[in-house]
Amino acid sequence: MRPIIGITSYVVPATWGVWHDLPTALIPNDYVAAVEQAGGRAVIIPPDDRDPDVLRVLDGLLLAGGPDVEPARYGAAPEPLTESRPERDAGEFLLVQRALATDLPILGVCRGMQVLAVAAGGSLHQHLPDVLGHERHRPAPGVYGEQEARFQPGSMIAKLMGDDVAIHCYHHQGVAEAGTLTVTGYTEDGLAEAIEDQDRRFVLGVQWHPEVIRDHRLFGALVEAAG
Ligand SMILES: NCCCC(=O)O
Q: How confident is the model at residue 46 (pLDDT cuts 50, 70, 90)?
A: very high
Is the four-CA dihedral 135, 141, 146, 149 of positive or negative sign?
Answer: positive
Phi then psi for 215, rounded to 5 degrees? -90, 105
Q: How far is the CA of 110 from the centre of ligand 1 (A)?
A: 7
Mean residue pLDDT of the chain comes to 96
Q: What is the mean pLDDT of residues 16-42?
A: 96
CB-based pocket (< 6 A), ligand 1: 67-68, 110-111, 114, 171-173
Phi then psi for 60, rounded to 5 degrees? -160, 160
The answer for residues whose C-beta is within 8 angstroms of residue 127's C-beta and 6 or more apart is 79, 81, 82, 172, 173
Report if pTM > 0.90: yes
The answer for residues whose C-beta is within 8 angstroms of residue 91's C-beta and 6 or more apart is 8, 47, 48, 49, 50
Per-residue confidence (pLDDT) for residue 98, from 0 to 100: 96
Per-residue confidence (pLDDT) for residue 227, from 0 to 100: 96
First vs last C-alpha separation in the chain? 9
Nearest CA to ligand 1 atom 1: 68
Per-residue confidence (pLDDT) for residue 164, from 0 to 100: 92
Per-residue confidence (pLDDT) for residue 95, from 0 to 100: 96
Nearest CA to ligand 1 atom 2: 68
Walk me through the domains of the chain, giving residue ranges and CATH numbers: 4-226 (3.40.50.880)
Catalytically active residues, by annotation? 110, 209, 211
| Contact of 181 with 194, CB cutoff 8 Å | no
Which residue in 79, 167, 157, 187 sits closest to 123, CA to CA? 79
The answer for residues whose C-beta is within 8 angstroms of residue 154's C-beta and 6 or more apart is none
- The DSSP output letter for 111 is H
ipTM value of the model? Answer: 0.98
| Contact of 118 with 181, CB cutoff 8 Å | no
pLDDT in tens, 206-220: 999 999 998 999 999
Per-residue confidence (pLDDT) for residue 112, from 0 to 100: 98
